[in-house]
Structure 1
Amino acid sequence: MPADRTVLLTGAAGGLGTLMRDLLPPYGYTLRLLDRVPVPDVPDGTEAVTADLADREALREAVRGVDAIVHLAGISLESTFESILDSNIRGTYHLYEAAREEGVRRVVFASSNHAVGFLPRPAGEDAPPLPVEAPHRPDTFYGLSKCFGEDLASLYWDKHGIETVSIRIGSCFPEPTTVRMLSLWLSPPDAARLLHAALTAEDVGHTVVYGSSANTRLWWDLSSARALGYEPRDDSEPYAAKLVAEQGALDPDNPDHAHLGGHFCTNPPRWPH
Structure 2
Amino acid sequence: MRILLTDARSLLSTRLIELLNRRQGTAVRVAGREHPDVSPETEYLTGELSDQRIAAEAVRDVDAVVHLLPLRLADAFEGGKISEPDAMDLVMRGTRNLIVESVRASVPRVIVGSSLALFDRHPPHWDVTEMWRPRPASTTRELLPWVTELSVRELITHGPIEAICLRFGHVVDEEEIDGEPFDPRWVHVDDAVHAIDRALAVDLSQAIDAGKPEWHVFHIMAPGPNSKIRYGLKTGIEERSTSGSPPFNYAPSRSLEQHPGVLPADPPVKDTRPWQEILAPVNPIWTRPIRKVLLFGAGGPMGAFAAQAMMDSYHVRLADIAPLDWESLDPARSAHCPMPALNIEQPHEFVQVDVQDPEQVRAACEGMDAIVNCSVLRDDEVKSFRINAVGTLNMARAAVEFGIRRIVQTSPLLHLVNGHGSHLWDYQIPVEAASRPYASLYFLTKYLGNEILRVFAEYHGLEVAVMLYWEMTNPELPSVKPPFMVSWPDSGRALRRALEVPELPNPFEEFNVSVDMPHGKFDHSKIRRVLGWEPLDNLDHFWQT
**TM-score of the superposed pair, with normalisation by structure 2:** 0.41
Matched, 1:138 2:136: yes
1:251 Cα deviation after fit: 6.0
1:232 maps to which residue?
252
In 2: Cα distance, 1:133 partner to 1:157 partner: 19
Distance 1:103 1:242 in 2: 45
2:118 aligns with one of 112, 115, 118: 115
Q: How does 1:101-250 map to 2 (within 5 A)?
A: 101-118=104-121, 120-122=122-124, 127-139=125-137, 140-175=139-174, 177=177, 178-179=180-181, 181=183, 183-203=184-204, 205-223=214-232, 224-226=242-244, 227=246, 228-239=248-259, 242-244=262-264, 248-250=266-268
Letter in 2 for 1:138: P
Partner AA of 2:8 in structure 1: A
- CA 1:157/1:241 → structure 2, altered by over 3 Å: closer, same or farther? same
Name 2:43's counterpart in structure 1.
Answer: 47
Q: Extract structure 1 runs of 4+ deviating beyond 4 A.
A: 78-81, 247-253
Cα distance in 1 for partners of 2:140, 2:58 equals 28
Is 1:61–2:70 an aligned residue pair?
no
Shift of 1:91: 1.7
Letter paired with 2:132: A
How far apart, CA to CA, are the structure 1 residues paired with 2:268 and 2:64? Answer: 40
Distance 1:229 1:221, change over 3 A: same
Distance 2:161 2:119 in 1: 24
Tell me if the contact between 1:23 and 1:189 (Cα under 8 Å) persists in the aligned partners: no
Conserved? CA contact 1:39–1:48, under 8 Å: no
Distance change (3 Å), C-alpha of 1:158 and 1:199: same
Give yes or no for contact 2:172–2:189 (8 Å, CA) kept in 1. Answer: yes
Give 1:200's aligned amino acid: A
**Map of 1:31 onto structure 2:** 28
1:20 CA displacement: 1.4
The sequence identity of aligned pairs, in percent, is 24
**For 1:7, which of 3, 8, 28 is the aligned residue?**
3
CA distance in 2, matches of 1:186, 1:86: 28
Q: Can you give the 5+ residue segments of structure 1 that lack an aligned partner in the other structure? A: 254-258, 261-273
Structure 1 residues 60 and 145: alpha-carbon distance in aligned structure 2, compared to 1, 3 A threshold: same
SS of residue matched to 2:164: strand
**Whole-angstrom distance in 1 between the partners of 2:47 and 2:224:** 37
Render the CA deviation track for 1:23-54: whole Å, top value 9, x for unaligned.
Answer: 23345532112222023141x24211121121
Deviation at 1:194, TM superposition (A): 0.6
Q: Is the 8 A contact 1:156 1:162 kept in 2?
A: no
- Alpha-carbon distance in 2 for matches of 1:133, 1:39: 37
8 Å contact kept, 1:216–1:237? no
Q: Please state whether the residue corresponding to 1:39 is helix, strand or coil.
A: coil
C-alpha distance in structure 1 between counterparts of 2:11 and 2:64, whole Å:
21
Alpha-carbon contact 2:223-2:230 (below 8 Å) kept: no
> Structure 1 residue 21 and structure 2 residue 20: aligned?
no
Q: Are residues 71 and 98 of structure 1, via their aligned partners in 2, closer, same or farther at CA, if it must alter by over 3 Å?
A: same
Secondary structure, aligned partner of 1:243 = coil
Deviations 1:156-214 (A, max 9, x none): 34332221111111111213635463x22222221221101111112263111111221
Between structures 1 and 2, the one with greater helix share:
1
Distance in 1, matches of 2:93 and 2:120, equals: 22
3-state SS in 1 of match to 2:69: coil
Residues 102-132 of structure 1, C-alpha deviation per residue, up to 9 Å, x if partnerless?
Answer: 11120110011123333x221xxxx343222
Aligned residues: 242
8 Å contact 1:106–1:164 — kept in the other structure? Answer: yes
- Aligned with 1:82 (options 82, 85, 92): 85
**Residues of 2 paired with 1:27 and 1:210: CA distance?**
25
User: Deviation at 1:149?
Assistant: 1.9
Q: In structure 1, how many angstroms separate the alpha carbons of the residues matched to 2:261 and 2:8? A: 34
One-letter amino acid of the structure 2 residue matched with residue 219 of structure 1: K
Are the aligned partners of 2:21 and 2:42 in contact in 1 as well (CA < 8 Å)? Answer: no
Check the 8 A contact 2:5/2:68 in 1, yes or no.
yes
- Residues 129 and 103 (structure 1 numbering): CA distance in 2 closer, same or farther, change over 3 Å? same
Query: In 2, Cα distance between the equivalents of 1:40 and 1:62?
Result: 19
1:245-264 map, 5 Å: 248-250=266-268
Q: Which residues of structure 2 form unaligned runs of 5+?
A: 208-213, 233-241, 272-277, 280-545
Do 1:187 and 1:234's aligned partners in 2 also have CA atoms closer than 8 Å? yes
